Structure 1
C-alpha cells in the first residue's frame, strides 16, 4: 500500500513538471545520469531526444502508432495477409454483437490495455474498463505526445495463441536496414522474462528491464519474412521497434513503437545502450542522404 501511495504521488509530481525536466529526472532515476539531448550517444539518449523534439508537423508516428490505422499502412507496404482482421470496432462495447470465443479486446491508442476473452465470464466489467481506457491519455511525464493525437477506439481481434497462452511476439530493433537485435519476451502474463537474438538467431549476451530468459528459444519459422518486412516498414526513420508474431500460417504484424519503454529501459550491461546508439547514428546519416537525394 505504501508503495502504491508513493508511486501515485511520484507520478503526480512528474506530470506537473515541464516534459523536458521530467524526462531528465526520470532518466536520472533509471540510468543514473541526465539524458544527452543535444548530442545523443546511446539508444535511450536518442529516444529521449526524439520524443521531446516531436511535433504534430510529422503525423507519421501518430498513424503508425494507432493500432487500427497502422493496418492500412502495413497492408499497403507489405500486401495482404500481414495484419490481424478487426472483428469489431467502436466506442462502446455494448454495441458489439456476440462474437465466438476466444478473442482479444484492445485499445488503439496505448499499450497494456487488453482483455483476453475466453468465456462469458471474461466480459464481466469489460465495458466499464474500456470506457475508462477511452478517457486515458499518455501521461505528460512520458512525453510521447503522438499517442495523444490518436482518436481513441476499442477494437477486437481474434486470439492467435494456443491453450490460452498468448503467442510469442518478436520485437525487431530496426535502424534502417540494420537489425542488430530481436527482443523476445516469454510468459508475458506470468513470470515475465526477456532475451535477445541477432538477425541470424544467435543469442546475445545482455538483458533489458525484465529478468533474463536463459533457455534457448527455437528460431522462428518465418524469421526471414519478418526481417524483410521490418526493413520495409522502417523506411524513412532512424529507428522503430517493429513487432511480429510467428504463427503456423505465416508471420503476422503486431505494432510499431517509436519510443520503447519511453527511453527509460536500462540495458544490462549499460554498454549495450552505447552499442545500439551507434546504429542510430549510422541510420541517421543514411536517412539524411535519402531525404537530400
Structure 2
C-alpha cells in the first residue's frame, strides 16, 4: 500500500501536497497556513514553496558549501575531503581506509543517511553502504521533500575525515545555531545541541548565552538542562552569524572538538517544515523570531 501511495504522490503534486499536510497536522497537532505563515514550521513551508535566494542550492551542497565557508571564514573550519566523485567503489573505500583511517561516506545533495566506516568494517558492510550512497545519487531529494534547491545540486559522492569525540563521550556533539536575522540587522540565536547521536540520543535548546530553553522537539528527549561553555564558543557563535548573514533564517551547524571548530552544514528547512515541538506556543515563538521574508 505504501508503495502505491508513494507512486501516486510522485505523479501528482496535489496528492503529494495533501499527504504532506496530513503528515504536518499529525505531527504538529494544528492545521497550518502556508500562505499566511506565523509559526516557525509554517514559514519553512512558505520558503519551500517560494524560495528566491540563489545561495540556498550552493550552501546546501555538502561539497560547494565547504568552498563557501572557506571563503567566508577560513579553511581551518573545513573537515578534510578524502574523495569527491560521481560514484564510489568498495575498492576505493578500502584504499582510503588503509591510507587515512576511519571515514564518513555521504551524498552531497540530500540530508543522509551518512555512513561511518571504520578500519574494521567488513567487505559486506562497506558494499552495503557504498551501494546505498550510489543509489542515493539517482534520487531527486528536492522533489521528494519539496525543497527545490536540492534539485539544483549535481549529485556526487563525498568521503571525508571522521572527527573523534572528546574524552568521556561516545559521539561528537553537534552544535546547531538557529540564526534569525532581525529587521535592524542584528541576530537572534537559538542553539540546539544534539548529544550522543548514535547512542542514547538527546537534544536540548539554549539561548546564545547558554541559558536553557524549556522546550523540546519530537525527535529526541531533552535530558540536559545545562551545558558548560565550549572552548572558543564565542568564535563559533560569531562564525554562525557570518554564515547566516545573507539569509532571513538559517541553521548553521558546527562541531567543536576541544576548541577546534569544524563546519557541519547549512540548512534552510529544518525538519523539512514539520518538526514538531512539545507545544505550538514554541513554534509560534520561533516564528516571531523569524522577522524577514522567508523566501530569502
TM-score, normalised with respect to structure 1: 0.86
Question: Contact (CA 8 Å) 1:183, 1:196: kept in 2 or not?
Answer: yes
CA distance in 1, matches of 2:233, 2:7: 42
The partner residue of 1:236 within 238, 246, 250 is 246
The partner residue of 1:209 within 218, 234, 237 is 218
Per the alignment, residue 39 of structure 1 pairs with 36
Question: Contact (CA 8 Å) 1:35, 1:48: kept in 2 or not?
Answer: no
Question: Contact (CA 8 Å) 2:28, 2:277: kept in 1 or not?
Answer: no
Per the alignment, residue 54 of structure 1 pairs with 51
* Secondary structure in 1 matching 2:49: helix
CA distance in 1, matches of 2:202, 2:10: 29
Question: Contact (CA 8 Å) 1:15, 1:139: kept in 2 or not?
Answer: no
Greater Cα offset, 186-195 or 64-73: 186-195
5+ long unaligned stretches in structure 1: 289-293
Give how far 1:195 is off: 1.0
Give how far 1:39 is off: 1.7
Per the alignment, residue 194 of structure 1 pairs with 203
Per the alignment, residue 264 of structure 1 pairs with 274
CA distance in 2, matches of 1:196, 1:10: 36
Per the alignment, residue 67 of structure 2 pairs with 72
* Secondary structure in 2 matching 1:125: helix
Q: Are 1:143 and 2:146 matched, yes or no? A: yes
Greater Cα offset, 44-53 or 92-101: 92-101
Per the alignment, residue 104 of structure 1 pairs with 104
The number of residue pairs the alignment matches comes to 279
5+ long unaligned stretches in structure 2: none
Per the alignment, residue 256 of structure 2 pairs with 246
Per the alignment, residue 184 of structure 1 pairs with 193
The partner residue of 1:174 within 175, 179, 187 is 179
Give how far 1:139 is off: 6.2
Question: Contact (CA 8 Å) 1:23, 1:141: kept in 2 or not?
Answer: no
Greater Cα offset, 117-126 or 171-180: 117-126
TM-score, normalised with respect to structure 2: 0.85
* Secondary structure in 2 matching 1:28: helix
Aligned residues: CA RMSD = 2.5
Give how far 1:249 is off: 4.8
Question: Contact (CA 8 Å) 1:22, 1:141: kept in 2 or not?
Answer: no
Q: Are 1:134 and 2:150 matched, yes or no? A: no
